[in-house]
A and B are shown apart, each in its own frame.
Chain A
Amino acid sequence: MRFIALITILLMGGLLFYGLPDFPDWGDPASPASTHVSPYYIEHGAADTHAPNIVTAVLADYRGYDTMFETAVIFSAGLACFFLLRTFRQKSAETKLYRHIPTGVTLRIEKGGKTPAGSEEFEPIDSHWVPYDMIINMTCRLIVPFVQLFALYVIAHGHYSPGGGFQGGVIFGAAIILFAISHDLRSVFRRLQEKTAILLSAAGVLIYAGTGVLCLILGGNFLDYSRLAGLLGVDAVMARSHGILIVEIGVGLAVMAVMVMLYYNLSSAGRHDEGL
């Protein structure tokens, strides 16, 4: 089996290298992309959409239809992970661990023992031994808001600097994952439930597609943001700029929620009781 795989990979690699010389050189001014496609965006991008970062203008405006389905792909990746991994059958652990919060002492309760559930002074901890470390907890608690703020900046500032909904959403999701790693899954569920994450991921795709349909209703083409000018109270060019921001927010929401969903399902093997 390994041998067949090796042969296949070598064959595909050989084919890739065989096809490589037909590609235009890096930055070749005579290549088709540089003669027909790029000049239009470079010359008209800022004037058409008020977005100095041409990449954002191309991604969310000129090629907005592609980006919509990219978001749909991310969403379906999240759904696929949910359907593959999520189990609702709870496996009750043999022994349960509880930490006494004021003293930090850990209680180990054998099967059938009385658990201090509902008590304010005890919190359940994972059965894999997780040392309680105040420095890690507090540092991550301190960092997370700033990471989230940076993620919002990346989404909102996508017109002017590298970034956009996708990167900002991933960073926002990473902040929540950092919180989950430094604490445990239970404390992150108290802040962002699984149901909320699923709804948010669907809402992100809905915002994107809904903007497109809104443009369609207002008499334009699908995702032709200049038609939103009347609703937003700005001129057509500025409306395209705002339209880009709206769909970027949709992408950011979807990506953030899907990243968090993936982490929930992967780290707890779909049981959502205790994780990494």
Chain B
Amino acid sequence: MIWPVDLIIMLLVMVSGIGAIMVRDLLGAAVLFGVYSFLMCLLYAIMGAVDVAFTEASVGAGVSSVFFVAAVFRTSRRTKD
């Protein structure tokens, strides 16, 4: 583990995670959640859990982003709260 890389990824994980909750545009939230998943995948890969990183990349960053976009497409793009 290289600590500066680790620190930067951790910070980005927090930023994208909080951003995904706070942002009003649900499509933006879906994209930010994809970013969050991909950064988590990087973290797993850094820690040596390559299988988990692979799953996270394919499920979290790949397919679930598509599902979110599809759900936003069929509902509304703005949150109520």
Contacts and interface: CB of A to CB of B under 8 A. Distances in A.
A59 to B, nearest CB: 8
Given A263-B70, A266-B67, A267-B73, A163 B62 contact: no
B26 to A, nearest CB: 14
Contacts of A249: none
Contacts of A56: 51
Interface of B: 47, 50-51, 53-55, 58-59, 62-63, 66-67, 69-71, 73-74, 81
Contacts of B55: 166-167, 170
Nearest to A268: B74
A67 B30 CA distance: 29
B18 to A, nearest CB: 12
Interface of B is mostly: helix
Given A181-B66, A262-B67, A263-B67, A171 B50 contact: no
Contact of B70 (A2, A167, A275): A275
A163 B51 CA distance: 6
A174 interface: yes
Contacts of A171: 58, 62
A254 interface: no
A164 B55 CA distance: 9
30 contacts: A2-B81, A26-B47, A59-B51, A162-B51, A162-B54, A163-B51, A163-B54, A164-B51, A166-B55, A166-B59, A167-B55, A167-B59, A170-B55, A170-B62, A170-B63, A171-B62, A174-B62, A174-B66, A177-B63, A259-B63, A262-B67, A263-B66, A263-B67, A263-B70, A266-B74, A267-B74, A268-B74, A275-B70, A276-B69, A276-B70
